[in-house]
Amino acid sequence: MVQRILKTDILYTSAGRPIENGMLAIDEHDRIVSVGTSLREEGVAIEYFKGALCPGFVNTHCHLELSHLVGQVTKETGLNGFIQELQKLRAAKEIEIQEAIKEADRKMSSSGIVAVGDISNGNSTFETKQQSSIQYHTFVELFGFDKSQADSILERGKQLKTQYANHQLAASIIPHSPYSVSRELFELISQQQNNTPLSIHNQETEAENEMYQTGKGKMIEMLQSFGLDTSTFEVRGKTSLLSYLSLLPSDSPLLLVHNTFTSKEDIEVAESIHNQLFWCFCPKANLYIENRLPNILQFIEAGVKCTLGTDSLASNDSLSIWEEIATIQEHYPDIVLETLLEWATINGAQFLGIEKDYGSFEVGKRAAVNWINGGGLTPLVLK
């Protein structure tokens, strides 16, 4: 039974072209009953929202457990400097970590985010995720450059994934990045059953490509500074993406995160060998760390599936998808809002496998609605 009818100047459905003077009919369970332009229901007043309405946002890349580090890591030091500083600052009192996690979750919800793909290295986010209105998928992230430790590292990851499952929280095991995971650990992760979707930090710094192409550069030097033996690293003579991609299963959705130094050739070859690639941009974090953005236009020209993320409060001053959209518009004004909203909604929902409920305005889906008014955004609470 229809309980509310919303009307707006432009309805961004993420399921087709925007609808001028679009309307949504919503039932008592906050499910969409109808989408159109001439909706009526006896006894139900039409609520008008000047501007536009769009679906709730999906943040496909976040590090909720780092929320206590807001404002603490120096900007524009490059990825190597960021990582080294982060390792020194990461520890904190548990109560501080928990309070920061809860506050970050609350702010994401209040900024119109309805689902999050969250990176975790531990169990600090259990309580918040269980109580949150946001739907989370946790990526249990593994590090392990030393191939002799691959088995034990994987076992710890499996134990953590089981803990998430015991808390009724969806999770999968993933590699952190091409420069921090051995070939052996890549292969062990790939062999895991019922382990989807997958995610990996990709080509966030030029030094990552240099490492795979020549075996030299700042990334190798950073690993050596951590006491790691890099003498057995396999130099492939290709970019990092084209060196490791074949080690991951091509039939599982895979999110490549950042892509700041990804080339047109990388995109073309990667798309030809993997069936379910998604390319995630976290522009505010890219500017915070490297002071550089990906060449986003080449991804649009290639016609690939893109999503948006916020990264962490260690590399950002907010966890707002709307602010990420605004940042892209500032630097790439020719990219239309409709495209960016699709990245922020349906593409993210498809990657996380939650498109039956979220990501677009279609009959039967949850009525998660964001109101765009005068350049700002206000999530609508439909209860």
Buried-state track 305-321, b at ≥16 Cβ within 10 A, e below 16: bbbbbbbbbbbbebbbb
Per the rule left: phi > 0, alpha: psi between -120 and 50, beta: everything else, 234 is beta
pLDDT of residue 383: 47
pLDDT of residue 88: 77
Determine the Cα angle at 266 with ends 260 and 272, to 5°: 135
pLDDT of residue 382: 66
**pTM of the predicted model as reported, rounded to 2 decimal places:** 0.96
User: Of 378, 370, 361, which is closest to residue 31 (Cα–Cα)?
Assistant: 361
Q: What span, in angstroms and rounded, lies between the C-alpha atoms of 267 and 378?
A: 35
pLDDT of residue 44: 92
Task: Give tens-digit pLDDT for 348-364.
Answer: 999 999 999 999 999 99
Please indicate whether the domains covering 2-54+367-380 and 57-352 agree at the CATH topology level. no
Under DSSP, is residue 194 helix (H, G, I), strand (E, B) or coil?
coil
Give domain 57-352's CATH superfamily.
Answer: Metal-dependent hydrolases (3.20.20.140)
Beta bridge partners, 154, equal: none
Beta bridge partners, 7, equal: 23, 48
CATH fold group of domain 2-54+367-380? Urease, subunit C; domain 1 (2.30.40)
Give me the residues of the chain with pLDDT under 50, please: 383
Under DSSP, is residue 195 helix (H, G, I), strand (E, B) or coil?
coil
Task: Give tens-digit pLDDT for 100-122.
Answer: 999 999 999 999 999 999 999 99
Give me the residue spans of the domains in the chain: 2-54+367-380, 57-352
Q: What span, in angstroms and rounded, lies between the C-alpha atoms of 129 and 126?
A: 5
Helix axes 206-214, 218-225, angle to 10 degrees: 90
pLDDT of residue 93: 87
Which helix (H) or strand (E) segment is 164 a member of?
A: helix 150-166
Task: Give tens-digit pLDDT for 147-182.
Answer: 999 999 999 999 999 999 999 999 999 999 999 999
pLDDT of residue 118: 98
Beta strands in 94-167 (DSSP E): 113-120, 135-142
Backbone angles phi, psi at 7, to 5 degrees: -130, 145
